[in-house]
A and B are shown apart, each in its own frame.
Chain A
């Protein structure tokens, strides 16, 4: 993958290339590419004059950063306590079966990424599945069908 350096420059310059702005810079890069490409992280390290391993450490520390390309559609299944007792495990199982991938993976066609989260703060309507920031409550394995437009 080739990285557009001028695009990265405009992101980095927005934060005045300061060390304390590493996380927001990475967030913006992830928003741009859907994940953190290695070349982009190397470029950030060079620009902020910090070791590459420090950028890598931060990128692997936070669960919200992804080092692998992610699908166009992000599906997050809540595995928090409330959703768990209401059967989120079955919902996840059905999604895994339908998409043919495990939680944390992306479908080979780059369409869907399936991930688990621990409580999204909507316990009352659990089990919750968040599809591209849209919340779906009271999920069941049967309702999964409707989420995936005929997959």
Chain B
């Protein structure tokens, strides 16, 4: 799990994290504070080396400031004193699963998304799979701009037609072919090609001895728990 390793400095604020009174640096985002205290919440478009972007919505948490509780994305929400934060309330878990379901329906071929869905114990996908190759997380765009200083790719179009591209949709001379965009893309890595590879949701592997290891030299995924390659209860050793 990527943790927050920054040293707190300056004046600390006190807030309530899952019922426990904790302190955090007011310059941190809520996500950084949550990670600092070792709580694991899923994130997708967030990366420590890049500016927060707030598009995947997976890092959603419930906050209470006064009487009303509301859902916010933690990666772009500031930490303020007196805030009450719940990272695993029923409402949060339900919302997270819904977001995950939509993401999986868009890109069922992504290993990273399948692994995350499995962790969130997503059991079904009720949407028609799109088999797209991009979830528009913008990681590649920020990587190219902020770390590679090439600024060779970006978003074009809008709404449902938004997509990632090079200037004028042609081969860009700005691109150095460094591959950083592919390295960081959560959709580029293909999912496990095990027995149920054609279903929208691979649903995790239940075996401690992965079935895929019978067909391939190495286990193909590292899901907890390992479930995906099981066809019926008899297959479980």
Residue numbers of A with Cβ under 8 A of B are 38, 41-42, 45, 51-57, 60-61
Chain B positions 167-189 with a Cβ under 8 Å from a chain A Cβ: 167-168, 172, 174
Report the bound CA distance from A149 to B180 in whole Å.
56
> Judging by beta carbons under 8 Å apart, are B174 and A52 in contact?
yes
> Judging by beta carbons under 8 Å apart, are A53 and B152 in contact?
yes
Residue numbers of B with Cβ under 8 A of A are 145, 151-158, 165-168, 172, 174
Report the bound CA distance from A53 to B165 in whole Å.
8
> Judging by beta carbons under 8 Å apart, are B156 and A56 in contact?
yes
A-B CB contacts (within 8 Å), total count: 42
| In the complex, chain A residues whose CB is within 8 Å of the CB of B152 | 51, 53
Out of A51, A54, A56, name the residue touching B168 (CB < 8 Å): A56
| In the complex, chain A residues whose CB is within 8 Å of the CB of B156 | 53, 56-57, 60-61
If A38-B168, A41-B168 touch, whether A54 touches B157 (CB-CB below 8 Å) is no
| In the complex, chain B residues whose CB is within 8 Å of the CB of A54 | 151, 154
Could you give 28 example pairs across A and B, Cβ below 8 Å? Answer: A38-B168, A41-B167, A41-B168, A42-B167, A51-B145, A51-B151, A51-B152, A51-B154, A51-B167, A51-B174, A52-B168, A52-B172, A53-B151, A53-B152, A53-B153, A53-B154, A53-B165, A53-B166, A53-B167, A53-B172, A56-B165, A56-B168, A57-B154, A57-B155, A57-B156, A60-B156, A60-B157, A61-B156
